[in-house]
């Protein structure tokens, strides 16, 4: 891709590529971490069993003493506590998934300069100065792009389950903030940037397939050179050389004994 004279980066990517990469980066880790819901379901089942035994004990106690009127209140209290536990474990699982998605983005961006979604759309994240982002700036960027909208969805789902207006307002506010800061782009020397890019000194730039292929070949060559160097270093280790010499000496002894045995067989009796 040809760069305009005097610019550090190629032309900025389209919004469709940005949002496409974002959806992949949310969907893939979400599917990978979905087995967490089996643990959540098991925990909810355990809590339901515990509350069921508690309610049965209260029912027997109140039946013995003829306190039938309080039996309905006890059942309502246990059902309310069980529902609170269910909402808590659902929100906790969602929050853990959000944190894992954030860790996925931080790790891949730090090691590779882009996530799977950005790789699928030939995008990469760099510093505004053209260099790699530091770990702190990557964490700050992921906090804005992943943690804020993720917590917004967690609060919104918890609000629906608990019918809490306050949680719903908080969740909607976080989601609106996330959508607005991503959608409102501003021109910069590196192209169009979102608010989180300007705050963290980052920029998302496209990469041509030719450049990606070249980098893949360079990575393959570096891996091959590193493997050869490690193998040579391991072979030249004193312990390995000593074992090699012992093996050669043993081979010479075995070969010499074989020759002696052949000569004895050839001698006339």
Q: What is the pLDDT of residues 40-55, one digit of tens each?
A: 999 998 888 887 767 6
Beta bridge partners of 186: 193
pLDDT for 58 beyond 90: no
d(CA 48, CA 252): 75
Residue, of 104 and 239, whose pLDDT is higher: 104
18: confidence class by pLDDT, cuts 50, 70, 90: confident
269: confidence class by pLDDT, cuts 50, 70, 90: low
Domain spans of the chain, in order of start: 15-209
pLDDT of residue 5: 41
Lowest model confidence (mean pLDDT) among 10-14, 31-35, 151-155, 250-254: 10-14
pLDDT for 141 beyond 60: yes
Contact present, 101 and 25 (Cβ < 8 Å): yes
Per DSSP, the three-state class of 113 is coil
Helices (H), 143-237: 148-162, 165-183, 195-200, 209-235
pLDDT of residue 79: 77
């Amino acid at each position: 891709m040809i760069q305009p004279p005097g610019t550090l980066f190629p032309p900025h990517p389209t919004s469709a590529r940005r949002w496409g990469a974002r959806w992949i980066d949310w969907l893939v880790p979400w599917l990978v971490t979905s087995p967490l819901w089996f643990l959540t379901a098991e925990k909810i089942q355990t809590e339901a069993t515990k509350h069921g035994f508690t309610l049965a004990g209260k029912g027997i106690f109140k039946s013995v003493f003829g306190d039938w009127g309080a039996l309905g209140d006890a059942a309502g209290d246990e059902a309310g506590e069980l529902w609170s536990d269910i909402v808590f474990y659902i929100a906790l699982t969602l929050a853990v998934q959000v944190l894992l998605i954030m860790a996925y983005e931080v790790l891949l961006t730090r090691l590779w300069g882009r996530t799977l979604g950005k790789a699928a759309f030939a995008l990469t994240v760099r510093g505004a100065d053209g260099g790699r982002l530091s770990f702190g700036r990557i964490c700050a960027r992921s906090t804005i792009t992943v943690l804020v909208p993720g917590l917004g969805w967690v609060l919104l789902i918890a609000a629906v389950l608990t019918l809490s207006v306050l949680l719903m307002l908080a969740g909607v506010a976080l989601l609106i903030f996330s959508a607005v800061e991503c959608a409102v782009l501003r021109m910069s020397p590196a192209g169009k940037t979102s608010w989180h890019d300007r705050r963290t000194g980052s920029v998302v730039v496209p990469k041509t397939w030719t450049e990606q292929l070249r980098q893949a070949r360079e990575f393959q060559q570096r891996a091959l050179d590193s493997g050869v160097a490690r193998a040579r270093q391991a072979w030249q280790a004193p312990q390995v050389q000593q074992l090699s010499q012992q093996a050669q000496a043993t081979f010479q002894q075995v070969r010499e004994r074989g020759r002696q045995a052949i000569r004895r067989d050839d001698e006339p009796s």
